[in-house]
Structure formats: structure tokens, C-alpha cells
């Protein structure tokens, strides 16, 4: 039998209890009969209402003060419409600075020409190899493109992990590893002796001098292999292939993932002239007028420019909205002082911002009973996918607690409400900042073309955009509010890095063939 001592029950009506001669005795008897498995002790309340009221007031006061402190901590993440307009306008200034000849080497937004000047016609065809390096994994693919009535794109791919020690080892080790993965893939596909044209999606800032030439400007997103910055990535790949001496490849194009994404979506929708990535990193490309790209000769037509907008703010342009938590994330990163916009907006960093806020709130006794666990101190434990789970509207608070439990964070119900709020402000700000940046770009395109109104499509790739429950909605709302003269449609890219690299390679090959 279950025997439990119930905490003392306070009888709120002293008049009835004390005045009636048999009230108490009868009450005790009834309770014993109804719940014989419980021992209930009755104690008299002394002036219950006044003391109680005072206690309630004290608890409410404490909660109110905690709430105020939490709100105060999170307030800098709420950007006003005016602040977002400023971000848009500063982004616009930096886009122009990046395009201007001579200044583009030192500008935060690099505006790198991609040497992609035409969108796909839909008549591309052929079989291509594609590589995708630039985020969580490395992929090798065979892409088969058919045109005409049987128009289709088929991809066969294999995913390879890039161990941390290789990401941060020497350049030779990194490229040897890549070539080893390609060799494995070609064996797997039984294609070691077929020499296919290859498109290399290499999603880091590259200063290209041709469709198949590009020097790495600087590593981002957790990569830090030595002796690569300043070197041509296609040369480094070719040299590694030579070292291996097992197969040969015909490297036709080096492609940024934003450009691949734009091309993949443009293959379906010719109005797609912008590519956006919201995944491990954050970046955008768009079709710019040649006459505006001052570092390129020629004034005719357009070229896709990889903005590398992740570097926005590296000269202090975002100082007034940067919080101390952004500062901490930056200081704990591999590339301190660099990619400040990316660090406020992309999957690699959002969880880390949340973790910094949670540490701060806990250290002030506002969360997790003031206990900072070893787990909470571990960089990277709060992954951005947890933001998506915690912010899901379908999730009950109990489930939020379960997620926190998995992270070794013992939370109360109030804690889980606060954690959800923290995740919400961080992801909202990220989506709004991307929206403000995108508003600058669409409005620039509109002005470039001398239009009162622009209808344009953005092709998007990236798990943050695709899986976060609110990111895409907030991003779209922000663009709408900040670029009222543009109608912007968003379409999801299906494997922009693989399909896009193949399409760009196909376009490049057809230009060589003179088709």
C-alpha cells in the first residue's frame, strides 16, 4: 500500500474550524475514510490571508524582478524597424564599396565575380562529376542532365566526413583526403577510367580570374587548413590528383554554393537571379550589371557576383547591434573579427549565441537554479538544430525540458519557457538580418534596371532555412517590409551544390563547344 505523508494542509477558514465543536473531528474522520492510504495532518493557519498575501507578493516580486532581468538581457536582440532599415542601408553601401575597383580587396563585403554570365537555358545535357566542399560534409557526385522531352537531372552521390584534424591540418592533407574520397567514389561507381568534366563547388570566398581559376581569400566556417589562403584551389586539387597518380579529371568550373543554388533554381524558374544560403554559413549571390563590376573589363551584360556578405560588419558596421554574446562567440571562433554578419545569422553560430546567453542567465541565478554544468560550458553542445526543435509550436514545454535534459541541463518549467524565449530572439534576429540584407540586394537590382517595380525569385538552400520552424517566414516578412517596391518569390533549391555545379559545368562546356 502506498503510504505518503502529505505536507501539512492549511485550513483557510479558522472560524468554521475553531468555532464548531465537532467540525475538526468530523473533517479528520471523513478524510481518513476517503483516503485511508494517506496520513493527513491538519495545522491551523495563523492569520492566513495577510501572511499569505505577503508571501505571494514577495514571490511575485522575485519572479517579476527575474523576468525583468531576462527581458533586459534579451532586449538588444529585438531590432526596431528603424534599426533594420539601417542594416539594409549599410549593406547597400557595402555592396557598392565591394563593386568599386581598387577598394574591393579591403572591403568587408567582397563582391567576387563568379564568371557565370548566363542562366541555364534548359537545353543543357551531359554527364558530369561534381564535388561539394564547404560545410558539414564533403560530397562526390555524378550528375546526369537530360534535355528536351526527357528533361531531367539525376544525381548519384556519396557523402564523406572531413575529420576535424584534416579541416584544420595542412592544405596538402586536406586535398589528398579529397582526392582519396574521389578515388573511392570512382571505384564505387566503376568509373575510374572515364574522364568526365568536373564542377567543383567550393563554398569559401575565392577571387576568381576565370570560370576554372580561383584563389582562396580566407577560410570560413571552421576550416583552417594551412598553406591554402592565397592559393588557387583548382591548382591545389590538380596537384593532389597528380600526387595520387591513379586517375585524371577535367576540372571545368569552380563554383560557389550560392551560385550553384541560383543556377539550379533558374533551371526551373528563369526569374531566379539570386542565390541565398542559410546553412552552416550565410551568403548570397545575384546577377549584377557588368558596367557596375569595376574590377572586370567590359560593360555589356551581367555576371553573377558572389557577395560574401558574411563579412559584412567586419569593419565595425554592426557594432551598435552587436551584443556581448556576439562578441563572445566571435572571440571563441577560429576567425576572430571576421565574418561578423555570418556569426549573427548562420547555423554554425546561432546555437553558440544561445549557449552564451544561457551561461550568462545561469551565472546570475536566473536559470537552472544557478548551476553552470560542465556540459553547458562545452562549446558547440547547443547545436542550431535544437533551436528548431525547441521553437517548434507543436512542442509542449515538457518536451523542451526533455531536450534540455538530453543536454544535461536539469530544468524547471520556468527554465524551459526562458530557454524557448532565448532561442526565439536569436533566430528571429538572424532571419531579420538576412531579410534586411536581401532587401538591399533586391532594391539594388531594381534600381540597376531602372524599374519602379521588380519581380524576382530567390533560390534558397541551407538546412537553417529549410528546417527552422520560423526562420523563412520572418525572413520573407522582413524583405517585404524593407523592399516594398519588389515582389520577391522564394524557391527551395534541390541540391544547389551538386546540380548547380553540373549546370555551370554544362554551360561552360557548351560555350567551349560553341553550342
**Chain residues in the site for Mg ion (CB under 5 A):** 135, 497
All residues at 6 or more sequence positions from 500 whose CB lies less than 8 Å from its CB, including other chains: 199, 201, 255, 257, 259, 260, 261, 262, 263, 264, 275, 493
From the list 136, 168, 180, 373, which residue makes contact with ligand ADP (rule: CB under 6 A)?
A: 136
Nearer of residues 135 and 214 to Mg ion, judged by Cβ: 135
Query: How many secondary structure helices (H) and strands (E) does the chain include?
Result: 17, 17
345 binds, among ligand ADP, Mg ion, none (CB under 5 to 8 A by kind): none
Q: How far is the CB of 156 from ligand ADP (least distance, A)?
A: 19
| Site string (231-270) toward ligand ADP, x via CB under 6 A | ----------------------------------------
The number of beta carbons lying within 10 Å of the beta carbon of residue 145 is: 22
Active site residue 257: yes
The answer to whether 203 is a known catalytic residue is yes
Q: Which of residues 266-295 bind ligand ADP (CB under 6 A)?
A: 279-281
Closest CB to ligand ADP among 349 and 368?
349
Find which of Mg ion, ligand ADP, none residue 467 binds, CB within 5 to 8 Å per kind.
ligand ADP
Tell me the CA distances in angstroms from 277 to 218, 310, 319, 464, 465, one per residue in order. 18, 11, 24, 9, 8
Residue of 107, 384, 432, 505 interacting with ligand ADP (CB under 6 A): 384
Taking the complex as a whole, the smallest distance from the CB of residue 316 to ligand ADP amounts, in Å, to 26
What are the strands, taking DSSP E only, across 104-196?
112-113, 126-133, 137-146, 152-161
Per residue, what are the HEC states of 189-223? HCCCCCCCEEEEEECCCEEEEECCEEEECCCCCCC
Q: Could you give the string, one character per residue 310-349, with x where binding to ligand ADP holds by CB under 6 A and - elsewhere? A: -------------------------------------xx-
- Which residues, in sequence order, are bridge partners of residue 152? 146
> Among residues 109, 100, 201, which one has the least CA distance to residue 441?
109
Angle at 69 between CA 66 and CA 73, to 5 degrees: 140
Q: Which residue has the cell 531531367?
A: 152
| Selected binder of ligand ADP within 213, 238, 385, 476 (CB under 6 A) | 385
The binder of ligand ADP chosen from 108, 113, 135, 437 (CB under 6 A): 135
Q: Which of 114, 203, 282, 333 is catalytic?
A: 203
Min separation Cβ 422 and ligand ADP, Å:
15
CA angle 344, 348, 352 (to 5 degrees): 70
Among the residue ranges 59-67, 106-114, 175-183, 380-388, the one whose residues contact ligand ADP (CB under 6 A):
380-388
Coil, strand or helix at 46: coil
Q: Is 164 helix (H, G, I), strand (E, B) or coil?
A: helix
Angle between helices 257-268 and 496-513 (to 10 degrees): 80
The catalytically annotated residue of 94, 132, 212, 257 is 257
- Give me the least distance between CB of 59 and ligand ADP, in Å please: 37
- Which of 63, 148, 106 minimizes the C-alpha distance to 415? 63
Catalytic-role residue among 88, 90, 139, 446: 139
- Site string (437-476) toward ligand ADP, x via CB under 6 A: -------------------------xxx--xx--------
Gap between the Cα atoms of 255 and 499, Å rounded: 11
Shortest gap between Cβ of 116 and ligand ADP (angstroms)? 19
Comparison of 283 and 497: residue with beta carbon closer to Mg ion: 497
CB atoms within 10 A of CB 461: 25
Query: Which entry of Mg ion, ligand ADP, none binds 384, CB below 5 to 8 A by partner kind?
Result: ligand ADP
Choose between 77 and 219: whose C-beta lies nearer to Mg ion: 219
Rounded to a whole number of angstroms, the minimum distance from the CB of residue 497 to Mg ion is 5
- Considering CB distances under 5 to 8 angstroms, the limit depending on partner class, which of ligand ADP, Mg ion, none binds residue 399? none
Q: Which of residues 191-210 bind ligand ADP (CB under 6 A)?
A: none
Binding of residue 503 to ligand ADP (CB under 6 A):
no
The residue count of the chain comes to 515
Q: What cell was used for 257? A: 554554393
Residue that has been written with the C-alpha cell 551565472 in this structure: 363
- Using Cβ positions, the residue closest to ligand ADP within the complex turns out to be 135
Do β-strands 197-202 and 206-210 pair in parallel, antiparallel, or remain unpaired? unpaired
Which residues bind to ligand ADP, rule: CB under 6 A? 134-136, 279-281, 347-348, 384-385, 388, 462-464, 467-468
Catalytic machinery residues: 139, 203, 257
Amino acid at each position: 500500500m502506498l503510504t505518503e505523508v502529505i505536507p501539512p494542509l492549511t485550513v483557510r477558514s479558522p472560524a468554521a474550524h475553531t468555532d464548531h465543536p465537532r467540525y475538526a473531528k468530523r473533517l479528520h474522520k471523513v478524510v481518513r475514510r476517503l483516503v485511508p492510504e494517506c496520513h493527513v495532518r491538519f495545522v491551523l493557519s495563523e492569520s492566513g490571508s495577510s501572511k499569505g498575501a505577503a508571501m505571494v507578493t514577495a514571490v511575485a516580486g522575485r519572479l517579476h524582478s527575474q523576468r525583468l532581468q531576462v527581458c533586459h538581457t534579451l532586449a538588444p536582440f529585438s531590432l526596431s524597424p528603424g534599426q533594420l532599415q539601417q542594416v539594409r542601408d549599410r549593406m547597400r553601401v557595402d555592396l557598392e564599396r565591394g563593386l568599386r575597383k581598387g577598394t574591393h580587396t579591403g572591403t568587408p563585403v567582397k563582391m567576387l565575380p563568379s564568371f557565370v554570365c548566363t542562366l541555364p537555358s534548359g537545353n543543357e545535357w551531359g554527364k558530369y562529376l561534381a564535388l561539394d566542399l564547404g560545410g558539414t560534409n564533403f560530397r562526390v557526385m555524378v550528375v546526369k542532365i537530360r534535355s528536351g522531352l526527357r528533361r531531367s537531372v539525376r544525381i548519384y552521390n556519396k557523402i564523406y566526413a572531413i575529420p576535424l584534424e584534416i579541416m584544420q591540418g595542412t592544405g596538402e592533407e586536406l586535398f589528398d583526403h579529397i582526392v582519396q574520397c574521389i578515388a573511392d567514389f570512382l571505384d564505387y561507381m566503376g568509373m575510374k577510367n572515364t574522364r568526365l568534366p568536373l564542377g567543383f563547388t567550393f563554398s569559401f570566398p575565392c577571387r576568381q580570374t576565370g570560370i576554372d581559376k580561383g584563389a582562396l581569400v580566407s577560410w570560413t566556417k571552421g576550416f583552417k587548413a594551412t598553406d591554402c589562403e592565397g592559393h588557387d584551389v583548382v591548382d591545389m586539387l590538380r596537384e593532389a590528383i597528380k600526387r595520387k597518380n591513379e586517375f585524371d579529371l577535367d576540372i571545368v568550373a569552380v563554383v560557389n554554393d550560392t551560385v550553384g543554388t541560383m543556377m539550379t533554381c533558374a533551371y526551373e524558374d528563369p526569374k531566379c537571379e539570386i542565390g541565398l544560403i542559410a546553412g552552416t554559413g550565410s551568403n548570397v549571390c545575384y546577377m549584377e550589371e557588368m558596367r557596375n563590376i569595376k574590377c572586370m573589363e567590359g560593360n555589356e551584360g551581367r555576371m553573377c557576383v558572389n557577395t560574401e556578405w558574411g563579412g559584412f560588419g567586419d569593419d565595425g558596421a554592426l557594432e551598435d547591434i552587436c551584443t556581448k554574446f556576439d562578441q563572445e562567440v566571435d572571440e571563441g571562433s577560429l576567425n576572430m573579427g571576421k565574418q561578423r554578419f555570418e556569426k549573427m545569422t548562420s547555423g554554425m553560430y546561432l546555437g553558440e549565441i544561445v549557449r552564451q546567453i544561457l551561461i550568462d542567465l545561469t551565472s546570475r541565478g536566473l536559470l537552472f537554479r544557478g548551476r553552470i554544468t560542465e556540459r553547458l560550458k562545452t562549446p558547440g553542445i547547443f547545436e542550431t538544430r535544437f533551436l528548431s526543435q525547441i521553437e517548434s509550436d507543436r512542442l509542449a514545454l515538457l518536451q523542451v525540458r526533455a531536450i534540455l535534459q538530453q543536454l544535461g541541463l536539469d530544468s524547471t518549467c520556468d527554465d524551459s519557457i526562458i530557454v524557448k524565449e532565448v532561442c526565439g530572439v536569436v533566430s528571429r534576429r538572424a532571419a531579420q538580418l538576412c531579410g534586411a540584407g536581401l532587401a538591399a540586394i533586391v532594391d539594388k537590382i531594381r534600381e540597376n534596371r531602372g524599374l519602379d517595380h521588380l519581380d524576382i525569385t530567390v533560390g534558397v538552400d541551407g538546412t537553417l532555412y529549410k528546417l527552422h520552424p520560423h526562420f523563412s517566414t520572418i525572413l520573407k516578412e522582413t524583405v517585404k517590409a524593407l523592399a516594398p517596391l519588389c515582389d520577391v518569390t522564394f524557391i527551395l533549391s534541390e541540391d544547389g551544390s551538386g546540380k548547380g555545379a553540373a549546370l555551370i559545368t554544362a554551360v561552360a562546356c557548351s560555350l567551349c563547344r560553341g553550342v
